[in-house]
Amino acid sequence: MLKKKNGWEMDEVRIVGGAMVILAFATALLVLIPYLLLKEIKAPDGLKPYTSQQLAGRQVYIENGCVYCHSQQPRDPSLGPDGKRGWGRPSVASDYKYDTPHLLGTMRTGPDLFNIGARQPSKDWHLGHLYQPRAYTPGSIMPAYPFLFEVRNGPAKEGEEVVNLPPGYTKEGEVVIAKPQVLALVQYLQSLNHTYPVLNSEARETRDRN
How far apart are the C-alpha atoms of 90 and 74, rounded to whole Å?
A: 5
**Per-residue confidence of the chain (210 residues) as pLDDT tens digits?**
445 555 566 677 788 888 888 888 787 776 676 666 666 788 898 999 999 999 999 999 999 999 999 999 999 999 889 999 999 999 999 999 999 999 999 889 999 999 999 999 999 999 999 999 999 999 999 999 999 999 999 888 888 999 999 988 888 889 999 999 999 999 999 999 999 988 654 444 434 444
CA 68 from centroid of its chain's CA atoms: 9
Angstrom distances, CA of residue 160 to CA of 23, 92, 152, 178, 183: 53, 39, 12, 7, 11
Phi and psi based region of residue 201 (left: phi greater than 0; alpha: psi -120 to 50; beta: remaining): alpha
Q: Which of helix, strand or coil describes residue 100?
A: coil
Give per-residue pLDDT as tens, 75-127.
999 988 999 999 999 999 999 999 999 999 988 999 999 999 999 999 999 99
How far apart are the C-alpha atoms of 191 and 186, rounded to whole Å?
A: 9
**Burial label, 119 (beta-carbon count in 10 A; 0-12, 13-18, 19+):** middle
CB 58 within 8 A of CB 77: no
